[in-house]
Amino acid sequence: MGTTITPQLVDVVDTFTSSRSYISSGTTRRLRTCQVERWGLRTECPTPEDPFHDAEVTWLLPELNLRLTHERPRSRHAKAGPSVLTAVRASSDGRYWKTTDLLLGLAAPGGTTARIVRCEEFAAAVAGRVLMGGDADLALCTVHKTLEELSRFRHDLSGWLAYKHIFDVWPPY
């Protein structure tokens, strides 16, 4: 059974209206939080259709070519899933932040080794020429460099963020 090739996921955040538009599906979502930071963009999007998660918290780190995501559980007693660092190509003109998902990332569960995720989807996108060579190289270099740096911090995401001069608490509550 082969991996299905999905189109590249492109979204645009409008910081004035606090909304995220998904270009591939044409849908738009209202954001609970949309704040430009010195290191990038902080957003929180409610997920009413998800029975297990209340919201998706995302930090866009354009200088690192990364998007950091955490799904906040609905129940305070539920075990939180891993944070995910996804390779992205990002740009901003001040108001609009455009992000293209490069289909490769790291799951960082905290306390244990981070692991590379979405490999099959990434390989299928490269083979199907959905993801071109430059973006594929950027994704591979970004993910491997990040994994190497995280390993130096014993896979402690907060320690790694502090090393990158991002002193905000992750995951935010």
Q: Does the model's pTM come out above 0.85?
A: yes
Position 1 confidence tier, pLDDT thresholds 50, 70, 90:
very low
Greatest CA span in the chain, whole angstroms? 45
Distances (CA, A) of 111 to 4, 34, 75, 128, 170: 32, 29, 21, 36, 14
pLDDT higher than 90, residue 171: no
β-strands 10-14, 40-46: how paired?
Answer: unpaired
pLDDT higher than 80, residue 169: yes
Output the average pLDDT for the chain.
Answer: 91
33-66 pLDDT tens trace: 999 999 999 999 999 888 889 999 999 999 999 9
75-112 pLDDT tens trace: 877 777 899 999 999 999 999 999 999 999 999 987 78
109-123 pLDDT tens trace: 877 899 999 999 999
